[in-house]
Amino acid sequence: MNYTTQMDAARKGIITKEIETVAKKENMDVNELMKLVSQGKVAIPANKNHKSLDAEGVGQGLKTKINVNLGISKDCNDIDMELKKVKKAVEMKAEAIMDLSCFGKTQEFRKKVVDISKAMIGTVPVYDAVGFYDKELKDITSDEFLKVVEKHAKDGVDFMTIHAGINKETADTFKRNRRTTNIVSRGGALLFAWMQLNNKENPFYERFDDLLDICEKYDVTISLGDACRPGCIKDSTDASQIKELITLGELTKRAWERNVQIIIEGPGHMTLDEIETNMKLEKKLCHGAPFYVLGPTVTDVAPGYDHITSAIGGAIAATYGADFLCYVTPAEHLRLPNLDDMKEGIIATKIAAHAADLAKGIKGARKWDNNMAVARQKLDWEKMFELSIDPEKARKYRAESNSPSEEQCTMCGKMCAIRNMNRVIGGKDLNVLRDDD
């Protein structure tokens, strides 16, 4: 039986290799997974031309996934360095990589990323349009925007951020309700500018059916971009953000009618107490579609530490419904992340994702922590390193401590509670002051 997309296959009862792979990874019954994919509550981004893909699912009942942003820019045009980041991100088991390249030989880099990455690959085609055509934003036509989308689809990109929700109505809402930081989405700002300069409708909204033709052909998942995400605490959960979200919900239904998978992108900056409400709003207005969030960043005053402010928000967001976390690095708002920044961002986001999976009761999540608890009780350092989210750092810290005994570390020494409880319960002598064991 033939099928066009993973959603189409699921609706026809066809178990694709990608559905089978995800079911095994998630310890989920394949029929249960197919039902969720058929309903749009789980997306499996899997472009037909991405041959090296090891498929992942994003959505209801699945482990929270993380995405790593990278790519070349005019100020930092180093393809070799960005490829090193790709390889490291895959090594660190990031489930997705977004190539946000916006300058130079983007196709060359994009093809290399698709070829070497078993993680799903995302892009933002509007970033590429200016460089691809070597012409000013105002002069790019709607046909040309769609041709860039098709080029990315042919190259094997699994999901694309498309800012189709910032139509004329949303733009008018924004203009009537001014913000402190205006529109902080790069793609959203480009499309808003194009609309204003040309006095035309957003081409991705106006020609959404043409966009669906491309995505259905290659099985590209649309990640509906949040052009109006808040860029500061003061702008959160405002008229522009909610107006766009309503539009994204309408577009979601249109995509599902064509068997095109959808992910919804979300905020942004907001305070801790707003996160739960925002997650519930998205799930309600967008009919249970998977939710992909940047952060949320829970305070504006920590440049250099936004991997922490975003991990705090991400853990809460995923607990209350977000399915996919975009990593944020210490370099956010400051510069292009280097390799070390990327690693810190991945670790912080993986911690947030796993913390949420524990809270949501995701199958297998608690077992990982339980195994760590047993290793700690046994003072089995090698097992602790093996189970660590960042084994490299754990080993480094242990090696630097110069602890005189495997029964302790240099923080508590012989007053280590685990050491002493193990000795007392085991009927051994307990010495805390003497130098002998």
Q: Do 181 and 261 fall into the same domain?
A: yes
Please tell me whether 354 is known to bind a ligand.
no
Q: What is the reported pLDDT for 339?
A: 94
Q: What is the reported pLDDT for 436?
A: 63
Please tell me whether 369 is known to bind a ligand.
no
- How sure is the predictor about 193, in pLDDT bands with cuts at 50, 70 and 90? very high
Q: Do 185 and 135 fall into the same domain?
A: yes
Could you give the CA distance from residue 419 to residue 167 in angstroms, rounded to a whole number? 63
Percent of the chain with pLDDT over 70: 99
Cβ–Cβ < 8 Å for 232, 183:
no
Please tell me whether 327 is known to bind a ligand.
no
Q: What is the reported pLDDT for 435?
A: 67
Q: What is the reported pLDDT for 55?
A: 98
The CATH number given to whatever domain includes residue 116 is 3.20.20.540
Mean per-residue pLDDT over the chain, rounded? 95
Please tell me whether 397 is known to bind a ligand.
no
Question: Mean pLDDT over residues 374-379, rounded?
Answer: 95
Q: Do 264 and 400 fall into the same domain?
A: no
Please tell me whether 398 is known to bind a ligand.
no
Q: What is the reported pLDDT for 437?
A: 61
Q: What is the reported pLDDT for 103?
A: 72
- Domain for residue 433, yes or no? no
Please tell me whether 227 is known to bind a ligand.
yes
Q: What is the reported pLDDT for 327?
A: 97
Cβ–Cβ < 8 Å for 230, 148:
no
Please tell me whether 412 is known to bind a ligand.
yes
- Domain for residue 10, yes or no? yes
Question: Mean pLDDT over residues 320-324, rounded?
Answer: 98
Residue 267: cis peptide before it, omega within 30 degrees of 0: no
- How sure is the predictor about 156, in pLDDT bands with cuts at 50, 70 and 90? very high
Question: Mean pLDDT over residues 231-245, rounded?
Answer: 98
SS (H, E, C) 249-300: HHHHHHHHHCCCCEEEEECCECCHHHHHHHHHHHHHHCCCCCEEEECCECCC
Cβ–Cβ < 8 Å for 321, 279:
yes
Please tell me whether 265 is known to bind a ligand.
yes
pLDDT tens, residue by residue, 5-43: 999 999 999 999 999 999 999 999 999 999 999 999 999
| Number of structural domains found in the chain | 2
Q: Do 115 and 202 fall into the same domain?
A: yes
pLDDT tens, residue by residue, 106-146: 888 899 999 999 999 999 999 999 888 888 999 999 999 99
**87-91, 102-106, 319-323, 338-342: which range is least confident on average?**
102-106
Question: Mean pLDDT over residues 335-355, rounded?
Answer: 96
Q: Do 121 and 195 fall into the same domain?
A: yes
Q: Do 306 and 384 fall into the same domain?
A: no
Please tell me whether 416 is known to bind a ligand.
yes
Report helix angle 79-91 to 106-116, nearest 10.
20
Residue 404 predicted with pLDDT over 90: no
Please tell me whether 376 is known to bind a ligand.
no
Enclosing domain of residue 288: 6-360
- How sure is the predictor about 102, in pLDDT bands with cuts at 50, 70 and 90? confident
Residue 59's Cβ-side half-sphere holds a number of Cα atoms within 13 Å equal to 31
Q: Do 45 and 84 fall into the same domain?
A: yes
- How sure is the predictor about 428, in pLDDT bands with cuts at 50, 70 and 90? confident
Q: What is the reported pLDDT for 403?
A: 81
Q: What is the reported pLDDT for 328?
A: 97
Please tell me whether 187 is known to bind a ligand.
yes
Q: Do 343 and 369 fall into the same domain?
A: no
Q: Would the pTM count as exceeding 0.85?
A: yes
Please tell me whether 185 is known to bind a ligand.
yes
